[in-house]
């Protein structure tokens, strides 16, 4: 029973260690392409934040969506030498980056959003929408974001097919089983010290996982609270609630970072306990 429990913890540790190194996405500010587009800075910032909110809502929680403040803090001082969205993404060490552009076509606002993979510079997906008013651009972001960010969602691979065992192989296995010697000497007893060290590592690893689970719950709560603050608000209301939203969103990001640290620590401790059990 103890071995089965420990195997379960090891599997969870490996999965959680993998999620600690998940991808980061930088949603850059949506900009205006032409001077005749009459939108204020607050309005374009509102649209940019909505795109970030959609990314945080759609992507798994182990994906890190950088906030505006985080992006600004990561951009180097020589920012004037960054000539493209790909260069900005590489400078801030983001795995994926988006660019948004608002233009004018007659009496219509146009919005184009593109998603790039930073390492290769490849365009992974985009969408383009038109509207006579700002609300239409907001609706376009909410409607088109799921398909856009699905381009970087992890895809589940089907399990490999199980090949049938030929009858001749089954017969060989039966003969081999019948000839296996039964007088195999028992495994030497392990030292008591190594056993208690391994138990201690298991306990510490489990405790770290518990803290990770706690911070994961707090992160989810903060994310939900931040979304509720600006849910279905107008640009004017958003300007009033922006600081409250940013503070709550920052708490969610901090809790998410703490969760990943505790998960990684717990996994390392559990794997260390397994190593002590095996090699000593």
Residues in the chain: 280
Query: pLDDT: is 231 or 135 the higher one?
Result: 135
Instruction: Break the chain into its structural domains and give their ranges.
Output: 8-21+194-280, 24-151
Per DSSP, what are the bridge partners of residue 26? Answer: 66, 97
SS (H, E, C) 58-97: HCCCCCEEECHHHHHHHCCCCHHHCCCHHHHHHHCCCCEE
Among 158, 35, 33, residue whose Cα is nearest residue 99: 33
Rounded to 10 degrees, the C-alpha dihedral 221/227/229/235 comes to: 170
Q: What backbone phi and psi angles, to 5 degrees, belong to 190?
A: -85, 155
For residue 106, pLDDT over 70 is answered with yes
**Strand pairing class (96-105; 64-66):** unpaired
Buried b / exposed e along 193-229 (16+ C-beta atoms within 10 A): eeeebbeebbebbeebbebbeebbebbeebbeebbeb
Beta strands in the chain (DSSP E): 24-27, 31-32, 64-66, 96-105, 108-117, 123-131
Per-residue pLDDT tens for 107-164? 899 999 999 999 999 999 999 999 999 899 999 999 999 999 999 987 766 667 766 5
CB 45 within 8 A of CB 29: yes
CB 92 within 8 A of CB 29: no
CATH homologous superfamily for 24-151? TolB, N-terminal domain (3.40.50.10070)
71-104 tens-digit pLDDT: 999 887 755 567 788 999 999 999 999 999 999 8
């Amino acid at each position: 029973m103890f071995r089965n429990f420990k195997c379960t913890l090891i599997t969870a540790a490996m999965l959680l260690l993998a999620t600690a190194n998940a991808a980061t996405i930088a949603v850059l500010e949506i900009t205006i392409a032409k001077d005749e587009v009459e939108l204020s800075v607050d309005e374009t910032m509102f649209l940019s934040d909505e795109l970030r909110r959609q990314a945080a809502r759609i992507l798994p929680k182990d994906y890190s969506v950088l906030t505006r403040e985080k992006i600004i803090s990561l951009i180097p001082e020589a920012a004037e030498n960054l000539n493209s969205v790909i260069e900005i993404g590489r400078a801030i060490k983001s795995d994926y980056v988006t660019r948004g552009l608002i233009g004018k076509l007659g009496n219509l606002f146009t919005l184009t959003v593109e998603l790039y993979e930073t390492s290769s510079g490849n365009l992974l997906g985009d969408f383009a929408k038109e509207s006579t008013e700002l609300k239409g651009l907001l609706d376009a972001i909410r409607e088109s974001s799921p398909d856009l960010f699905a381009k970087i969602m992890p895809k589940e691979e089907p399990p490999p097919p199980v090949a049938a065992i030929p009858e001749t192989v089954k017969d060989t296995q039966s003969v081999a089983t019948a000839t296996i010697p039964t007088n195999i000497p028992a495994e030497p007893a392990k030292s008591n010290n190594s056993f208690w060290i391994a138990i201690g590592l298991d306990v510490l690893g489990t405790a770290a996982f518990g803290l990770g689970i706690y911070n994961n719950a707090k992160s989810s709560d903060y994310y939900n609270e931040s979304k509720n603050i600006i849910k279905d608000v107008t640009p004017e209301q958003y300007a009033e609630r922006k600081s409250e939203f940013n503070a709550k969103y920052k708490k969610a990001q901090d809790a998410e970072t703490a969760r990943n640290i505790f998960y990684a620590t717990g996994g390392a401790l559990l794997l260390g306990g397994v190593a002590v059990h095996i090699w000593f």
